[in-house]
A and B are shown apart, each in its own frame.
Chain A
């Protein structure tokens, strides 16, 4: 490196290395079993209104309105969440626990979906510590095959306002996190909603360790479908 101390290239090597590591490094976790997922190969996902175990009433629709983006960009058809919600309401179902209790046969009959996604928002909100505040959103998800009733995948993810926006990493997930933030930054000032978008991308993007697999509309070849373990 011939760069002078004030030259920007001085920062180039560490930055490039960080990007590389961010994209390729795989945290050591217990590998998921993808046998049922690969057999089922769902093409369409019905996102049900998420359960909300947090005190913030906004959590359900904040998460539901941001679930389509990562799933669709991972290659799935995602049923229109607003119409789905209206359909449940017209059938007398307006609370997420009631909707989560609907039989898979009935869901399959109405929507014709291959799989349904059951989300539970466990944490959604701001906690205040001595000098600053942190907004954290944590959610679990379970993908169930509506044809067989088998659980195809389960996952959990969390995001926090304290992380800043610079560590979203490279690759598809980093791109999706940045794009999710861009989508809402100008129109919404609710910090919880912004963080929920990041949680949703982490939870529901393919290509992450123990993440969902790429769907049929993805341009990824099939062999890349299963995340590296």
Chain B
């Protein structure tokens, strides 16, 4: 039964469907590489994941984004900064927040607010 729906059989159909769709809807492409960023934010909220593990996993998402040539999503570098801050690495906290601000100037006021509030060590 499964061979009815094998990828080989469906590929030309999918192609035709995409072509047909372009008449009314452009075939969508994601703007960002997400990896498991949102799942990690949820794990952070639920305290299921420590900052060290979070950092490792987010750096992995960043590497994969680079390999795919896609930007990382809004908030990812800032979240990474938060995790660095929690491990006491204030230089990387600041660096990550500035990277967020550079990638997304919309965050400038908030990043400045956060950097001003964090005492230098």
Partner of A188, one of B20, B31, B42, B75: B42
Closest B residue to A188 by beta carbon equals B39
A9 to B6, CA, bound (A): 11
Contact of B73 among A12, A16, A72 (CB under 8 A): A72
> Looking at the complex, which one of A43, A81, A217 makes contact with B31 (CB distance below 8 Å)?
A217
Q: Is the CB of A77 within 8 A of B25?
A: no
Contact: B36 with A79, CB < 8 Å?
A: no
Do A73 and B31 touch (CB < 8 A)? yes
Q: Which of B27-72 contact A (CB under 8 A)?
A: 28-32, 34-39, 41-46
Check A80–B78 contact: CB distance below 8 A. yes
- Judge whether B38 and A20 touch: CB under 8 Å: no
Asked whether A16 and B36 contact (CB < 8 A) given A78-B75, A81-B75, A188-B42, the answer is no
> How many angstroms from the CA of A110 to the CA of B104 in the assembled complex?
17
Cα distance, A113 to B26, chains bound together (Å): 30
Asked if B82 is an interface residue, CB under 8 A from chain A, the answer is yes
Among candidates A72, A79, A197, residue contacting B32 with C-beta atoms closer than 8 Å: A72
Instruction: Decide if A160 is an interface residue (CB 8 Å cutoff).
Output: no
Chain A residues lying within 8 Å of B20, measured Cβ to Cβ, are 16, 19-20
User: At the interface with chain B, which of A33-41, A128-136, A150-158, A171-179?
Assistant: A171-179
Q: Does B92 contact A (CB under 8 A)?
A: no
Please name the residue on chain B nearest to A10 by beta carbon: B4
Instruction: Name the contact of A16 in the complex, choosing from B17, B41, B109, B113 (C-beta under 8 A).
Output: B17
Q: How far is the CA of A175 from the CA of B31 in the complex (A)?
A: 12
Number of chain A interface residues as a range: 35 or more
B31 near A187 with CB under 8 A, answer no
A8 touches B38 (CB 8 A): no
Q: Output the least CB separation between A41 and chain B (Å).
A: 13
Assess the B46–A15 pair: CB atoms within 8 A: no
A73–B38 CB distance below 8 A: no
Question: Of A82-90, A95-103, A116-124, which stretch is located at the interface?
Answer: A82-90
> Does B9 make an interface contact (CB < 8 A)?
yes
Interface residues of B (CB under 8 A from A): 3-6, 9-10, 12-13, 16-17, 20-21, 24-26, 28-32, 34-39, 41-46, 73-76, 78-79, 81-82, 100, 104, 106-110, 113-114
14 additional contacts (CB under 8 A) given A12-B13, A183-B37: A9-B13, A11-B5, A11-B13, A12-B16, A19-B20, A61-B45, A65-B45, A68-B75, A79-B74, A82-B45, A83-B75, A170-B17, A172-B28, A219-B29
**9 A-B pairs, CB-CB below 8 angstroms?**
A9-B9, A11-B5, A69-B34, A75-B31, A78-B75, A83-B78, A186-B36, A187-B39, A219-B31
Q: Which 6 A-B pairs have the closest CB atoms?
A: A112-B109, A8-B9, A80-B75, A77-B106, A61-B45, A80-B78
